[in-house]
Structure 1
Amino acid sequence: MLTGHRQIRNQLHQVIDLLLMMLCLYLAHTIRRHLGEEFVLRRTVMFREQLLLAGAIIVIGHYSLKVQGFYRRTIGSSPAGVFWTAVRAMSVCVLIVLAGLYVLDVRDVNRATIFIFAGLSVIAVWLFDMAWEALTVMAAHRRNQRTAVLVGSPAENQGIVDLIREHPEWSLAVLAQLNLSVQSADDLEKLLREKPVDLVIFTSGKSSLSEVESAILACEVEGVEAWLVADFVRTSIARPAMDEMMGKPMIVFRSAPDVSWALLFKGAFDRIGAAVLLMLFSPLMLAVAVTIKLSSRGPVLFRQERCGVRGRIFTMLKFRSMVSDAEQRQAELMVFNEMDGPVFKIARDPRITGIGRFLRRTSLDELPQLVNVLKGEMSLVGPRPLPVKEVKQFKSPWQRRRLSMKPGITCLWQIAGRNTIGFEEWMRLDLQYIDTWSLWLDFRILLKTLPVVLMGKGAH
């Protein structure tokens, strides 16, 4: 998790620095021209050669920054130290470029422009680095903090607590600390069920193998990342991966997709797609809202608390398709439940209104969930969010791992038959989606959802 976020920030930082150096090279050309000299290259040099030389200068400058450790520093480094690192890198860049021009006997290049480029680049990348650090820390404070549980002795836990305090850019908060020599894996399992936990860090290697293994398996069931300083635990689902925290090697057991460019693209696509769809369907949604209001008493929207990622509770929106007191009447209808497991489904539910049957058959009642997607509470594709009370009634612990990924409007369950599929198979399809997730899988599910919606397949 930490490495994933850090790599993304680092790569984005480098891309922006490359763009800044392109701008600096253009400004250097312009400045030198206004000083009465030709552009960087004289007219005897062809345009293609100009582009090649410009590209070479920028690439050399970029790799000089990398070699000098400009991108390996941590938040809180001395601004003066960062500045002199940039100076050293650009000095190396100038020396390499000048040496290359000399060896290749290129005489039609204005050397002064290269020095101007180097000076501008030092200032640009240094100022941007300072701004980038400030924005990183600010963003870490503004976004929801990821929560961690530390498992180990108080002294070993304190070392990790100190590291977390020194690095606010991690956006990590210690939710609780456990000691397996005093407490058990059952205490950890209870905590994971009651609190939204993003990762568990095992800080001690002194606990017995059985205790650590039980605790790791509890994390696996919940779909929570587990970090430890050992490699002796075997899991059936979680994928082990190496990570590190300030030089401390960690083995991470992931049973859900890790932070990556693909996952970030999914999030961006979700919000942009939701915004576009809301604009496109706004006239239709207005018509549906008016029809609901005129056809039955009660609110237009149905709001219900659902379990989101890691069990975080959010209010899911739907167009109301039932009578206003539907939830109060559910208890008397439980004997007619056609779905196994804790989920309640009836093919001919008497609480559904006339317009509600049409909305459900066409899935138009789901359109308000685009607002949930826009807010970041849901995704376009992901396991369907279940009511909180139904999640609490899960009988098999493995079913809770579906909470390890953001819920969605459609998923494998929808395109495989929806209400015609049993609860156990539904849960297995959700876990199959999590274990095999890719952008291509999301794209295929979205394409297959269209005919399912149009045909009303499996809709109650």
Structure 2
Amino acid sequence: MRHVHFPAQRVAGAAAELLAAPVRRIGDKARWYLPAALTADFLGAAVPVGLVFEAAQQVRPVYCALGAALAWTGVQAVRRRYAARALGESRGVLPVVHDWLILIGVLAVARVVTGESTPRLAALGALLPALLITVACHKLTYRHLSAARREAQAVSRVLVIGEPAAADSLTAHLAARTDHPYVVVGVVPVGTGPLEGGVPVAARLDALAPDAPTADSAAVLGAVRSHHADLVLVAPGARIAGERLRRIAWALHDAGLELAVFPGLVEVSVKRLETLSAGGLAVLRVAPPVSSGLQTALKAALDRIGAGAGLVLLSPLFLAIVLAIRLGSRGPAFYRQQRIGRDGVPFTMWKFRTMVVDADRLKGGLAGANENDGLMFKIRRDPRVTRVGRLLRRTSLDELPQLLNVLAGHMSLVGPRPPLPEEVARYDEVELRRLTVRPGMTGLWQISGRSDLSWDETIQLDLSYVDNWSFTSDVDVMGRTLRAVVDGRGAY
């Protein structure tokens, strides 16, 4: 795989910029997160239940509303959703659904105990707004927190320990992204090798474990205090493992500090990880990607039903687009192109025509103007695109005929971008892995910047999807696609 390389100047510059800013710790998240969450959860449960139970002429609607609100906030408190570490960290729907199902169970028991007689369907409907309002509140705080972290706020100051090469790789990866709370403030290299990341060296540990174990502990604790670190993150390596790592952990925990160990895995969803114990050893199990079962059946059903319904409902729009294309330039309204699908099987992909008829013949003369750094061919101001085509691309309406491909089983509603045969011919063995699933009309590439992304970023997103997809993540991508289409960023 072609990895993204981060030069030392970039990593050092990012670290210097973050450290020079007035860093707010992770416990210093915006103060309105907790009251907003509590208010949204309490009122989101109390008001609908009160109104529905009042309409149903329940004897004690106010008490029922209060009980539902206290139960909903109580369930989330027990699940630690109001902890400072959890607030704003997730916009996912699935954890909220889990909490909501627990709420249903709790209130079902309360219903039996109290003899409450409101119709079950009405009672269930009264609780649905609590789920929706809590999800909306999570998304709001997540977006606010993500923006704050791009300004080095609400972060954790991290001290990295590891062999030089591993420490450099870890700090570069963290410095290149802002979707996490970690700011590396110092490195404690193991051994005498040089560091290229530009992050300050807080201390050094001997390559071999010292005779006196306290030497490591004293060096690490001193580095933590001098750099005001909140967390010590250990990069994997033979020289910092086993008994040596155990003693450092003891020292840190005795001092009230946190320790985390990076297992060396990249872009693996936490949903696929499971901690096990074998003979006193802590083992991290990595579950294989989902390739069969209920989730794949749900995905197939959603694809066919969604594509069929989309073709029927959008047929008037199809007719309008066809007329606009034919009136705007000579040539057919549809454009067919061979693409490579799952397991390398070619298929004919349909799109609305957005370029002049002889666009493929003109492509060779524009090779020098390609603005993409990889195998894709993209030009921001492509002279072959028609006036109508530019609008269709800006709104992604040119992709709608691919619903036919989804209905035929060549594509999915969500998946990696379908590549061209000439692109696949130049793939390496890692890039070929993106062909193990059906390509999609939308996916992580489309909602993350589209043509503004580098080739390496595109491949990383596709591989992340292949390895970590789930039915719920597909639903989330489809929801976020609407925002990406409205935004139009990277669509050209």
User: Does the alignment reach a TM-score above 0.5?
Assistant: no
| Bigger Cα Rg | 1
User: Taking structure 2 as the reference length, what is the TM-score of the superposition?
Assistant: 0.42
User: Taking structure 1 as the reference length, what is the TM-score of the superposition?
Assistant: 0.45
Structure showing the higher helix proportion among its residues = 1
